[in-house]
Amino acid sequence: MSGLTFEGVSHRYGSVLAVDSVDLEFRPGETICLLGPSGCGKSTLLRLAAGLETIQDGSIAIGGRTVAAAGLHPQVPPEARRVGLVFQDYALFPHLTVTGNIRYGLPGGRAEGEERARRILADLGMSDLAGRYPHALSGGQQQRVALLRALAPKPRVMLLDEPFSTLDEHLRHEVRMETMSLLAGSDAVTVLVTHDAEEAMLLGDRIVVMRDGRIVQDASPDEVYAHPSDLFTARLFGPVNRYEGTVRAGSVSTPLGTVAAPGLAESSRVEVAFRADGIELGDPSSAGEDGLRVQVRSVRRLGVWTLVLMTPLDRTREARGAAEGAESVSIQARMPGSAPISSGDRLALRARPEHTFVFPAESVAGAPARERVSRIR
C-alpha cells in the first residue's frame, strides 16, 4: 500500500514554475530525503502534501486516499490528512508548555492528552522539560519537542523542512541520531527536505535530487553517490575537478589523463568530473609512464580533511588538456586527516576510477541516467 503519492504535480508562483510534472511514490515506513539547492521546489512539495498550498495540477494521495487534485473541491483540509509537519523554525506555541505543545492536536480530552504527552516525554528521558515554555528551551530541545508534537498523533506522513539547519554542528549530529531513533519506530512515510548531501546520505532510505522543480535522480544513497545522473548531482556530494573535452575513439583527454567514455558518440562534447576525495597522491617515482606528476601550490587543513591544490608538471599533458577546452589546469584533492604534504612538494597523482564520471556537455536534467553518464571502471 502506498503511503504518499504525487502524480503529475506542478505548481507556480506567478510566472515561476516551482514544481514541474513531479511523479513520486513513497512507501509506509520509508524515509526519503529531498535534496537540492534553495528554490528547487523541495519545500513546495511538502507544503502541497500538507495542504498548506492549493494544488494547481496533478494529484496527491495519502494512504491510497486522494487528498488533493486539480479540479477536486473541496480538497481534504490539512488537519484531516494525518500529516505531521516540522518547520525549520520549529513553530512551537509560545503560550503553551512542552506538555501543552505535545498534547496539541491529540484526540481525546485534556487529561488523556496530557497523560500521553507526559508518557512520551518520560520514554525519552525529557520529563524535566514538561512544564517549561519554548523560550526557556535550547535550540536542540525545541527541535525535539517539535518532532514529538508532530509524531504524537501517529501521522501517516511526517514532513520535515530542514529541521536541523539552525543547530550547531555538534548538536546537529546528536539530534539527527535521536530523530532516526524516533522515526525507526514509526510506520509513517517520512519526507525530509535538506540541501546537505551528508544529511541525506545519513537519514534517507532514498534520495530524491531536485533541480528547477524537476526530479533529477531518485535512488538509494549509495546509488546516487556512486552513479550520479549528471554533473549537478555529482557536485552536491563535494567538490570536483571539472574539465571539458571531445570524445575521440571512445575516450577523452583531460589534464588528469585519458578517460574512457563508453556509450558516448564520437566527436561529442563531454564534461569529465574527478571527485576531489577520489584523488590519490604519492611519491613521484610511482607515477609510471601513464601517471601524472604535480606540484603542490597550497595545503589547507579543513577539520577532518586536508585540501591540497596542485598544478600539473607534465606540460605535454597539460597542453593537451587545455587544447581540449579544459576549464582549468588547477587540481584539488581532499585527503583524510592531516596529510604530510607541504607547498612546493612534487607528487604523483592518480584519479580513482570509481570517482571519475563522464557526462554529455549538453545533458538535460531529468533524462534517464543510463543515457547521460558513463562511470569509469
Q: Which domains does the chain have, with CATH numbers?
A: 4-226 (3.40.50.300), 239-375 (2.40.50.140)
Q: What is the pLDDT along the chain (377 residues), one digit of tens a residue?
A: 579 999 999 999 999 999 999 999 999 999 999 999 999 999 999 999 999 999 999 999 999 999 999 987 788 999 899 999 988 777 889 999 999 999 887 877 778 888 888 888 887 788 899 999 999 998 888 888 888 888 888 899 999 999 888 888 878 888 888 888 878 777 899 999 999 999 999 999 999 999 999 999 999 999 999 999 999 999 999 999 999 999 999 999 998 889 999 889 999 999 999 999 999 998 877 655 556 889 999 999 888 889 999 999 865 544 444 444 444 478 999 998 887 889 999 999 999 999 999 999 864 444 444 334 444 43
Q: Are 145 and 129 in contact (CB under 8 A)?
A: yes
The pLDDT of residue 260: 92
Judge residue 204's burial from the number of C-beta atoms within 10 Å of its C-beta, 0-12 exposed, 13-18 middle, 19 or more buried. buried
Write out the three cell numbers for 172. Answer: 546537529
The pLDDT of residue 290: 56
CA distance 271 to 324: 11
CB atoms within 10 A of CB 244: 16
The pLDDT of residue 325: 42
Tell me the one-letter amino acid at 50: A
Please name the residue ranges forming H helices in the chain.
42-50, 98-103, 110-123, 139-151, 169-184, 197-203, 221-226, 231-236, 315-323
The pLDDT of residue 249: 93
The DSSP call for residue 127 is G
Give 246's strand partners.
Answer: 269
Structure pTM? 0.86
CA distance 341 to 349: 13
CA distance 266 to 147: 53
What sign does the dihedral 166-170-173-178 (CA atoms) show?
Answer: negative
CA distance 299 to 312: 16
